Amino acid sequence: MRVLFFSSQTYDQDSFSNTPADHGLELHFQPARLSEDTAPLASGHEVVCAFINDDLSAPVLKRLAAGGTRLIALRSAGYNHVDLAAAKQLGLAVVRVPAYSPHAVAEHAVALILALNRRLHRAYNRTREGNFSLHGLTGFDLHGKTVGVVGTGQIGAAFARIMAGFGCQLLAYDPYPNPELLALGARYLELPELLSQAQIISLHCPLTEQTRHLINPQSLAQLQPGAMLINTGRGALIDTPALIEALKDGQLGYLGLDVYEEEAQLFFEDRSDLPLQDDVLARLLTFPNVIVTAHQAFLTREALAAIAATTLDNITRWAAGNPQNLVEG
């Protein structure tokens, strides 16, 4: 069975090639992003393995199905970029990786908090230029601070455990309270209450119609002045242009993003020799209290190995007529 990987990077080829080779699959790697124009590359491949910024809209799915594709294997947990109704109509099965390493994403969120708080990005650049002044590098103790966790699934719970270890007070928002957070002493609140009480807010919820632009001008106005906002979830959880005004007037004191609503045409590529065409992102990058990383929170050896193992297992089980991790439309 032939499998074509779209949006594949060197680390994808390494992780999938290093898994046991008894799966009987013929793996092909394509660096191009899946789109209506590149879909014909999958002709003759029964399985297409797609990543988060690949286009899996109805027109693309129609082209894949016409070329003989029968399974869409997502090497990600999120599936908001898939037209599930179209997939069902075309007879395309969709499988995903529901969990890989929640620690990878949670630890990256904490890294953003620490870097922003202690101005590590600014200090690093200064010392490389021979500037050893401490002016403007004052941070704060995390111990005793109130941290709001928005979305308390596996990643949110891993993040909460780490912040509890720092001695932080935990607030949480999720329609389905997690007993693990309650055991850590977290208090579940409605979102406006959480936003008004937490000094640090970290987003770990999936992207749905209910959570799209969960953070918007109205919710930003509910923050404590100078609060820190971290997003390692999905870019569209935030109305990104609204962040600029909140940063300018000091309502938002720190911002750490590993995801961006318009990242599809930017992230995972070296564009350092090209002008940045995205005016919103360009403006955000001018603020000294903002750190943006290019969707790398998942990027650990352990997470990549788990993604590869689960994806290949999803494909072989589907081929054997015993599918798992199906995404139902």
What tokens were used for 279? 């005016």
Instruction: State pLDDT tens for residues 125-179.
Output: 999 999 999 999 999 999 999 999 999 999 999 999 999 999 999 999 999 999 9
Q: Rounded CA gap, 268 and 7, in Å? A: 9
pLDDT of the residue at 265: 82
Classified by CATH at the fold level, domain 2-100+301-320 comes out as Rossmann fold (3.40.50)
pLDDT of the residue at 92: 97
Domain boundaries of the chain, sorted by first residue: 2-100+301-320, 102-292
Q: What percentage of the chain has pLDDT greater than the value 70?
A: 99
Q: Which residues are catalytic?
A: 234, 263, 295
| Listed residue (136, 138, 128) closest to 288, CA to CA | 136
* Mean pLDDT of all residues in 310-314: 96
Q: Which CATH class is domain 102-292?
A: alpha beta
pLDDT of the residue at 21: 64
Q: Per mean pLDDT, which range of 144-148, 241-245, 266-270, 303-307 is the poorest?
A: 266-270
Q: Rounded CA gap, 107 and 296, in Å? A: 11
Query: Is the whole-model pTM more than 0.95?
Result: no
Question: 164 burial class (0-12, 13-18, 19+ CB within 10 angstroms)?
Answer: middle
Tell me, yes or no, if the two domains 2-100+301-320 and 102-292 fold the same way.
Answer: yes
Question: 139 burial class (0-12, 13-18, 19+ CB within 10 angstroms)?
Answer: exposed
